[in-house]
Amino acid sequence: MDFKLNDEQRMLEETVGRLVRDTYTFDARNKILESEQGFSADMWNQFAELGLLGVPFSEEAGGFNGGGPELMVVAEGFGRGLVVEPYLATVVLSGTLIDKLGNDAQKEQWVAAIIGGETRFALAAYEPQGRYDHTVVDTSAKKDGDGYVLSGEKAVVLHGDSADQLVVIARTAGSAGDRDGLSAFIVPADADGVTRKGYATIDGLRAAEITLSNVKVGGDALLGEEGKAIDALEATLDLGLITLCAEAAGAMEVACDQTLDYIKERQQFGVPIGKFQALQHRMVEMRMELEKVRSITMLAACSLDAPADLRKKRISAAKAQVGKSGRKVAEEAIQLFGGMGMMEETPVSHYAKRIVMIDHWFGDREYHLGILETLIDVDDHAA
Amino acid sequence: MDINYTPEERAFRDEVRGFLNDKLPADISRKVKEHKRLGKEDTIRWQKILNEQGWLALHWPKEHGGTGWSPIQKHIFEEECAEAGAPTVLPFGVNMVAPVIIKFGTQEQKDHYLPRILRSDDWWCQGYSEPGAGSDLAGLKTRAVRDGDHYIVNGQKTWTTLGQHANMIFCLVRTDPDAKKQEGISFLLIDMEKSEGITVRPLITLDGEHEVNEVFFDDVKVPVENLVGEENKGWTCAKYLLTFERTGIAGVGSSKAALAHLKQVAREQQVNGKPLIEEPHFRARLADVEMELMSLEMTNLRTVAAAEAGGVPGAESSFLKIMGTELRQEITDLFRRAAGPHALPFLPEELEGDFEGPYVGPEFAASVASRYFNFRKLSIFGGSNEIQKNIISKMILGL
């Protein structure tokens, strides 16, 4: 048993940490938020130069060969700076799915383009009727000569507004809710029949509602075997969940630190408000929730190779804990900051928004507790 | 980063399992698992078995007859004991007074008391709290006045756990009433059998049990060689004892065992013709507890691993105490709910190990309500959870 980072992981942590500290200041981030794209292409290039876009990919593909702990380290660093670039959408969700399902030619083309920072992707999986359930897919992909014709609607596609390419999950067989019959396709975002309504999300990111109407793609757009995408999709979404949990841990840490600084500094009744026991205990509770999230995120990040049921159980438990503990930390941070916590100009309010809204990406507390409920009999011995 | 045990750690776990399998008496583990009353004889029998194996003094150095185990080994041992239904070792002698004697005691004290503790010759209890000194322990008033070769002790201690069985008590007493609060306190060992003037009175708790007592001292003569450390330096001993490494403070092992039992019960109990475990509200709470337990277990393991690497647990112990006790209390609440109306019948005889039935309700239900009430103590004793929050505020938040 060993919770220390190895040399490579520490190096990653330092790389991300330095980048965020030096360049991702609150003001710099605000400028990025105001930009048209909602993220910084320049920052994206820096990610590429530093090798961050290759973290989960094999060394042969030009990647870092990282697993759960490596992604965790990167995402925690991003969480500390509330980084808004499409790392999760491009690298974690689309890149690893292509890497898992794609043939050599597809991987050579797309994984290399992701690692090099040339192409940005979005994963168009969830649909308006499905909420957080990735099997509720009505989008159809009908065979058309050598290729396919795709039609359907995709909801709240993370960074779907700016992506160059989409990985679309569509149904080649069965009906909504079936695990079989799901296929993954690479679709250029500017293909005929793709319409995107892009928007900002309240936590500083961008997303889009995407409509596909009779979008024609070639046979080489299909990733992996037709109708058999579910296992790879779920493994990919699990990586996404680990990334989100770690990002939450990083953001919660900063929210705790900023709150602690504030209550030591803010004077009322002639003393720093941190002298009041009522506030001290709330501060302690925030830190306790942070520790829980850190712990269970480590458990999730180290469970990628566990049997599928155990892996899902731990990852859903982690996401549910983030939903529960994150809400507590975010609400308490605002409360302890008082009126200042309500202000857009106060950084902690941005952390609070991100922490709370992470619960709404890829399954909230209730959704993941529901999954945990179905796995309640899966034996969990941490070690 | 690797959350799995190493092959050596797994081998150690197997060794512990083998020992528990061979040596833990079935009648004792049955009582523990079914939440029956444990008698003094049960505890001593188990402690003697542990001592024969050399595994009683978990935290002592090897030279004094301890295990000399690493934090991870201690953790594994405690986990396995909880899972197997081994009784808790009485902490007052082996885990509390002994480390103080080892650290601050004279050679004579070590030679006399440590072997007796290992053999379970003495049953120790703790004389800390007083009616006016709970969380504010340094406000204690029990007085010890030096008179030649003796101290004369007068005063009252309270919440003395299992003091009704004890023949020895370690006490914090005031030896200098004029010094600042913490500075006039001494650490005394008092023989309850041989001394005149000690009265032990039972305190019955809300679950009807006799677990704690009050102890009165009326001109009790204590030889000066029973002073541990220097006179007026008892607070140093007390602080050492309070911060003494407690790997098991989170109670992960017992929570895991309790949760497994709770799931079993929830599969058997029927609600509207369906198992209780399928009832959505109950199931959701069960899942929440499971999630919290996973977080707690990993937090505990992180602390154990840090201790293994030479770190000194400070605020972490307080975090673990709060999280662990809240979770154990939550589980007892779910047990109470699992029993439904049969949590109501209050029949203390059903908690005796030799009770042969018939039970009024399901057998598991006999103890649930009283255990729920009994477990309210968890967030009060050992430094209330609010005191733990004060400690964390000071130690890591600098507030």
Within chain B, how many helices (H) and strands (E) appear?
13, 10
Query: Which residues of chain A neighbour B287 with C-beta distances below 8 Å?
Result: 320, 369-370, 372-373, 376
Structure-token pair, residue B224? 């000066």
Distance from CA of B21 to the nearest CA of A (A): 19
- Residue A91 pLDDT more than 80? yes
Instruction: Give which of A74, A266, A284 to mutate to test B binding, by max B Cβ within 10 Å.
Output: A284
Tell me what pLDDT residue B243 has: 67
Catalytic choice (B83, B209, B245, B292) = B245
Tell whether B288 lies on the interface with A, counting CB pairs under 8 A: yes
What is the full DSSP assignment across A216-248? Answer: EE-GGGEESSTTB-HHHHHHHHHHHHHHHHHHH
Pairwise CB contact (< 8 Å): B2 & A284? no
Query: Which residues of chain B neighbour A287 with C-beta distances below 8 Å?
Result: 319, 392, 396-397
Query: Which residues of chain B neighbour A294 with C-beta distances below 8 Å?
Result: 299, 302
Structure-token pair, residue A277? 């026991």
- Residue A382 pLDDT more than 80? no
Distance from CA of B307 to the nearest CA of A (A): 11
Instruction: Give which of B74, B259, B262, B294 to mutate to test A binding, by max A Cβ within 10 Å.
Output: B294
Closest-CA residue of chain A to B294 = A296
Residue B309 burial (C-beta neighbours within 10 Å; 0-12, 13-18, 19+): exposed
Which residue from B46, B23, B264 is spatially nearest to B38, judged by alpha carbons?
B46
CA distance B189 to B172: 9
Pairwise CB contact (< 8 Å): B295 & A280? no
Residues B60, B102 contacting (CB under 8 angstroms)? yes
Alpha carbon distance, N-terminus to C-terminus of chain A: 8
Tell whether B364 lies on the interface with A, counting CB pairs under 8 A: no
Pairwise CB contact (< 8 Å): A317 & B309? no
- CB-nearest to B2 from A1, A320, A372 is A1
Average pLDDT, chain A: 97
Pairwise CB contact (< 8 Å): B297 & A382? yes
Which residue from A288, A261, A255 is spatially nearest to A273, judged by alpha carbons?
A261
Closest-CA residue of chain B to A283 = B393
Structure-token pair, residue A210? 């995407």
Q: What pLDDT, in 10s, does the model give residues B205-227?
A: 999 999 999 999 999 999 999 99
Q: What pLDDT, in 10s, does the model give residues A187-197?
A: 999 999 999 99
Instruction: Give which of B75, B262, B293, B295 to mutate to test A binding, by max A Cβ within 10 Å.
Output: B295
Tell whether B319 lies on the interface with A, counting CB pairs under 8 A: yes
Which residue from A196, A244, A204 is spatially nearest to A74, judged by alpha carbons?
A244
Tell me what pLDDT residue B244 has: 65
Tell me what pLDDT residue B248 has: 78
- CB-nearest to B298 from A277, A373, A382 is A382
Structural domains in chain B, sorted by start? 7-89 (no CATH), 122-231 (2.40.110.10), 245-395 (1.20.140.10)
Pairwise CB contact (< 8 Å): B399 & A298? no
How many Cα atoms sit within 13 Å of B312 on the Cβ side?
5
Which residue from A262, A327, A279, A252 is spatially nearest to B389, judged by alpha carbons?
A279
Pairwise CB contact (< 8 Å): A292 & B4? no
Tell me what pLDDT residue A381 has: 58
Distances (CA, A) of A107 to A103, A167, A220, B45: 6, 13, 12, 66
Pairwise CB contact (< 8 Å): A2 & B305? yes
Pairwise CB contact (< 8 Å): B6 & A5? no
Pairwise CB contact (< 8 Å): A373 & B283? yes
Closest-CA residue of chain B to A73 = B1
Between CA B310 and CA B321, with CA B316 as vertex, the angle to 5 degrees is 130
CA distance A223 to A2: 37
Tell me what pLDDT residue B247 has: 62
Tell whether B323 lies on the interface with A, counting CB pairs under 8 A: yes
SS3 content of chain A, % helix, strand, coil (to 5): 55, 15, 30
Within chain A, how many helices (H) and strands (E) appear?
13, 10
- CB-nearest to A291 from B2, B286, B319 is B319
Superfamily of domain A231-374: Butyryl-CoA Dehydrogenase, subunit A, domain 3 (1.20.140.10)
* B382 φψ region: left (φ > 0), alpha (ψ -120 to 50), beta (else): left
Distance from CA of B389 to the nearest CA of A (A): 6
For A122-227, CATH gives: 2.40.110.10
CA distance B278 to A106: 46
- CB-nearest to A369 from B3, B284, B390 is B284
Pairwise CB contact (< 8 Å): A376 & B286? yes
Superfamily of domain A7-119: Acyl-CoA dehydrogenase/oxidase, N-terminal domain (1.10.540.10)
Tell me what pLDDT residue B246 has: 63
Tell me what pLDDT residue B314 has: 76
Pairwise CB contact (< 8 Å): A295 & B1? no
CA distance B140 to B137: 6
Q: A328 falls in which pLDDT band (50, 70, 90)?
A: very high
Closest-CA residue of chain A to B71 = A1
Tell me what pLDDT residue B311 has: 79
Distance from CA of A377 to the nearest CA of B (A): 9
Query: Which residues of chain B neighbour A383 with C-beta distances below 8 Å?
Result: 3-5, 9, 301
Q: Distance from CA of residue A368 to its chain's centroid?
A: 15
Tell whether B310 lies on the interface with A, counting CB pairs under 8 A: no
What is the pTM for the complete model shown? 0.95
Tell whether B70 lies on the interface with A, counting CB pairs under 8 A: no
Q: What pLDDT, in 10s, does the model give residues A103-113?
A: 999 999 999 99
Q: Distance from CA of residue A289 to its chain's centroid?
A: 20
Closest-CA residue of chain B to A383 = B4
Instruction: Give which of B276, B291, B292 to mutate to test A binding, by max A Cβ within 10 Å.
Output: B291
Residue B358: cis peptide before it, omega within 30 degrees of 0: yes
| Beta carbon pairs, A and B, within 8 Å | 135
The per-residue pLDDT string of chain B (399 residues; one tens digit each, 9 = 90 and over) reads 889 999 999 999 999 999 999 999 999 999 999 999 999 999 999 999 999 999 999 999 999 999 999 999 999 999 999 999 999 999 999 999 999 999 999 999 999 999 999 999 999 999 999 999 999 999 999 999 999 999 999 999 999 999 999 999 999 999 999 999 999 999 999 999 999 999 999 999 999 999 999 999 999 999 999 999 999 999 999 988 876 656 678 999 999 999 999 999 999 999 999 999 999 999 999 999 999 999 999 999 999 998 888 877 778 899 999 999 999 999 999 999 999 999 999 999 999 988 988 999 999 999 999 999 999 999 999 889 999 999 999 998 888
Structure-token pair, residue B65? 């007859």
Residues A183, A158 contacting (CB under 8 angstroms)? no
- Output Rg (C-alpha) for chain A, integer angstroms: 21
Tell me what pLDDT residue B245 has: 54
Pairwise CB contact (< 8 Å): A298 & B294? no
- Counted residue by residue, chain B has a size of 399
Domain boundaries, chain A: 7-119, 122-227, 231-374
Annotated active-site residue B330? The verdict is no
